[in-house]
A = this chain, B = another copy of it.
Amino acid sequence: MSDNKKTTIVLFSGDYDKAMAAYIIANGAAAYDHDVTIFHTFWGLNALRKDAQVPVKKGLMEKLFGKMMPRGADKMGLSKMNYLGMGQKMIKSVVKKHNALPLPQLVEMAQEQDVKLIACTMTMDLLGLKKEELLDEIEYGGVAAYIGEAENGNVSLFI
């Protein structure tokens, strides 16, 4: 076990702005030498979805969830003032204008900084998401994995 400080984030939300906040904090903590883990559960799993459609066998409910949920970080909506996607376009536009990083690049940067990205297997089952649909080089685990990470940490957040 390293002597580094430790930040553990549960990303439950599937909102573009909340996921941005989660990944900005994660990348910031990693830059300050924290060991950082993001545990993606429920709608937060969508931040890990590939944007291409991946053909996988699913039940009816799981197909429906698959269709209703955004395919990847770039397609997620805002938590506030989304207005059928206009708010999200506005955020992306100001992110670009101010040379900030859009969400897909924040996820990439996190992977480059060795932030541990875990997908919650229990909610993957519930929502019918398959490993083939999620980004490569992530880890998989349940609530035990989360507790193990969080209980020795310095900063723990639920977003």
Contact = CB atoms under 8 A, between A and B. Distances in A.
A80 to B, nearest CB: 5
Interface string A51-84: 0000000010110110011000000000111000
A138 interface: no
A28 B144 CA distance: 6
Q: Is the interface of A mostly helix, strand, loop or mixed?
A: helix
A108 B155 CA distance: 27
Task: Give the number of times this chain occurs in the complex, counting copies.
Answer: 3
A10 interface: yes
Nearest to A87: B68
Interface of A: 5, 7, 10, 12, 14, 17-18, 21, 24-25, 27-29, 31-32, 34, 41-43, 59, 61-62, 64-65, 68-69, 79-81, 90-91, 93-95, 97-98, 100, 122, 125-128, 142-144, 146-148, 150-159
Contact of A156 (B14, B147, B155): B155
Contact of A158 (B59, B80, B151, B158): B158
